[in-house]
Amino acid sequence: MESWYLLNSGENSPEFNMALDEAMLDYSYQNGVPILRFYKWKPPTLSIGYFQKTFSSINFEELKKRGFAFIRRPTGGRAVLHNKEITYSITLPISHKFLELSVIESYEILCKPIVKALNDLNIKAYLSNEDDKEINSPSCFASPTFKDIKVNGKKLIGSAQTRDKRGLLQHGSILLNVDVCELFSVLNINGAVVERLIEKGREKITSLREEGFKENEEELKSHLIKAYKDLLEIDFKPLEISSVRNINEYMLKYSSKEWNFRI
């Protein structure tokens, strides 16, 4: 049985959420122990991938009007609107056996417990093996990709992974509910094609509520924790935020124009 830490950090600002994810990577590296974390965002936040261009991806006027925040993630991928969802993150130290695997192989292993948890909740989720090129959009959920978690052909969970000398960070967005119009409104998309993208988005994106999930968020997290325990043979120990160092240092990073606007 392998020991992991479990951290429920609740609802926080986008700067805090990204700072804690990176500080967790430090903690995993220094202590040689993986961490599984669950969290939410306040206010609702549009996050963009590490390599995305800020101004060509985001409609800042609409973002401000809706009272939404914006941040750049340390992971790749496209834009994600964090609103009616639970986010998970996992950090593994560089010494962990999963780091001997390819990104795709480790990604698949870390996603399988999520699929199992959803299946146990009678949601017929599966890990996709195909790339959907039908929609070209700055949005992660509007552009389903290889290894997404889907239900009935629609994307439910998008995740991204990054690695460095400390280890591995993977995080992903589990949609409790989704407003496709809201998603596209905060993206910088030519007005002439928005309606077509909204229509296609409704065909490509789903949420737990749409798939019949009637339980509360704590029940979902309970099933996710159990699935990780069962599939990866993990014994979880609770971790307090106060035990994780460097959060304030990383808050400065993720609050900076240099990071978010790449200037």
- The CA–CA distances, whole Å, from 178 to 9, 86, 94 equal 22, 12, 35
Of 90, 140, 183, 225, the catalytic one is: 140
Residue 34 near residue 233 (C-beta atoms within 8 A): no
Grouping H, G, I as helix, E, B as strand and the rest as coil, residue 162 is: strand
Scan for tokens 């986008």, then name that residue: 14
Residue 111 designated active-site: no
Scan for tokens 């998603």, then name that residue: 183
Token representation of residue 216: 């509360």
Helices (H) and strands (E) in the chain, counts: 9, 11
Closest to 55 (Cα-Cα) out of 179, 187, 154: 187
Grouping H, G, I as helix, E, B as strand and the rest as coil, residue 144 is: coil
Grouping H, G, I as helix, E, B as strand and the rest as coil, residue 217 is: helix
Residue 173 near residue 206 (C-beta atoms within 8 A): no
Q: What's the angle, vertex CA 10, arms to CA 38 and CA 247, rounded to 5?
A: 85
Q: Which residues are catalytic?
A: 140
